Chains A and B, each alone.
Chain A
Amino acid sequence: MTITLDAPRLVKTKALLSIRNVSKSYGSVAAVRDVSATAYPGEVLGIVGESGSGKSTLLRMMNLEEIPDCGDYTLDLPEVSGNLFELDRFERRMLCAKRIGIVYQNPHLGLLMDHTSSGNVAERLLVAGERRFGELRARAQEALAASEFPLDRLDDPPRDLSGGMQQRVQLAKAIALEPALLLLDEPTTGLDVSVQALVLDTLKRLQQERQITMVLVSHDLGVIRTLADRVMVMRRGQVVEAGLVDQIFQDPQHPYTQQLVHAKL
């Protein structure tokens, strides 16, 4: 018996996220210089780099919180077209609420600390127009269960929760509406190693179950290696190297990447 293999072919899938030639400077500081990135559906794109390399700024641009000086940004979604940086404030807010989820390193940025945890998740559904209390409650519970949050603490405010649990609430909030794009800004930094591993497990499982496209920013090469498919290395606002994770970590080309990989003990 012979095994017939498909001939090698080009991938024809359209990129879900494509950001082209963006630059942003704050006064004389150029935070991001002429950066382009693409992410395909179901893929995890890692962005790695030292502090101040512009990776978080780039992520904030993807969440439309920050508008660059130049460049454009498109998402391959039925409801939007054209350069997303040109949307007005209202359209931007609705797009972010409905299709983009974000998890910040600092839970204070993403959560209302004095409201209940389930309320934090429900807020997103409310912004998107859900007006049934029973439905809100059920979907908040479902999202919190999916991010492995202990449901007996459903109505505790995030300020009473541990760091790991706060990240889970953020994650539940981000996935509550089945977003097309999930942005993760150092989601595990500041957590101790065992909790970090648990949160990473949850992320990995969600990614496999739901095929969510993710962009993951981290300075931790271990996290990138565990989760990402492709990686971009950034330094001083520019991309110095990009490629598959194994390729970058096994055979780094750029001197900075080599340094980075070797520095990882």
Chain B
Amino acid sequence: MSLSSLTKPWQPMSYGFLDASAKREIRRKMLKAVAVPGCQMPYASREVPMARGWGTGGLQVSLTLINPKTCVKVIDQGADDSVNAASIRRFLADVSGAPTTLDTLQADLIQSRHRIPEEKLAAHQTLVLQVPNPEPLRSVQPNMSIARQMHADADYGRMWLQLYEQIVRSGRVMQGASYPAMVNGRHVMTPSPIPRWDVPKLHMAQHLTILSAGREKRIFAVPPFTRVEPLVFDDVPYKVEDHGDLTCNRSGARGFFMNEIPLPDGSSTHEISDSDYGVKTIRARDGETVEMGATWYNNGQMEDAQ
């Protein structure tokens, strides 16, 4: 036995960029987060070659989960082709040798900023959401120590009060993105700034969702088949954005979450936000055979979760 047989040859960096101890820590914290759904677990948050606030939390989780066989998809506001999504995807492929895809159905690991794909995710898929502000109580309790105590006591009266005030002042709940949701009947979490449209997709979903905030150093998770219930009053129903009747002017897809495109004459048109689903719709229209997965919303209506 020689020293060279016991050691590995020198490499410029470890597999998947992060060193083994960082990955180990994140793995442990992810397990913890899965064990207590919706509860925020602190972690160290290493440096990655990207500025904090640009998805470093999600990136670290992806780097930890990735292996050479993981098929990776990265989206930013629903689009695969934005600069941020393209750079993260290329970086993940470079440091791990993993294949990449734009197709939601083929991906094993989907890192996303602010959207959940329109096609249903399956049990073998993992969704990693980038979270800028993991603390749902921040607007009502700026002191983090007290906020943690409030989570421990399930003291969410102030959260509800905020909703009450919004209805009193404006006639409806004004919270647009990152609508607070109760996970597994215990912890209130902010589901990262996904639109209200996407929150019901997390409820009793088949896939694992991991939410990670790199700047704030918190990981939390929604395990498969876990209740995710947006905070709503019994007599004021939860409303998603009124996108059910909109049609995408490029693909003709109807009843999905849309981006509004302003036109020079002051009017506006709409484009589907999930770019991969838009591309698939166009291909299908042009007569190509494409595999379209089942969608959460059909004809603009969310199907009832079991």
Q: Interface of A with B (CB < 8 Å)?
A: 89-90, 93, 112, 115-116, 118-119, 122-123, 126-127, 131-137, 155
Contact = CB atoms under 8 A, between A and B. Distances in A.
Given A90-B154, A116-B169, 11 more contacts: A89-B149, A116-B165, A119-B164, A122-B161, A122-B164, A126-B164, A127-B155, A127-B157, A132-B233, A133-B235, A135-B235
Contact of A93 (B155, B169, B233): B155
Q: Say what secondary structure dominates the interface of chain B.
A: helix
B153 interface: yes
Interface of B: 149, 153-155, 157-158, 160-161, 164-165, 167-169, 233-236
Given A133-B235, A133-B236, A89 B153 contact: yes
* In the A-B complex, the 6 residue pairs with the closest CB atoms: A127-B157, A133-B233, A126-B160, A126-B157, A132-B234, A123-B161
A133 B161 CA distance: 10
Contacts of A119: 161, 164-165, 168
Contacts of B161: 112, 115, 119, 122-123, 126
Determine the main DSSP class of A at the interface with B: helix
B284 to A, nearest CB: 44
A155 B169 contact: yes
Contacts of B158: 123
Contacts of B149: 89
B234 A131 contact: yes
B153 A90 contact: yes
29 contacts: A89-B149, A89-B153, A90-B153, A93-B153, A112-B161, A115-B161, A116-B165, A116-B168, A118-B168, A119-B161, A119-B164, A122-B161, A122-B164, A123-B157, A123-B161, A126-B157, A126-B160, A126-B161, A131-B234, A132-B233, A132-B234, A133-B164, A133-B167, A133-B233, A133-B234, A133-B235, A136-B164, A137-B168, A155-B168
Nearest to A115: B165
B166 to A, nearest CB: 10
A13 to B, nearest CB: 34
Interface centre among B154, B157, B235 (most CB of A within 10 A): B157
Contact of A131 (B153, B169, B233): B233
A90 B149 CA distance: 10
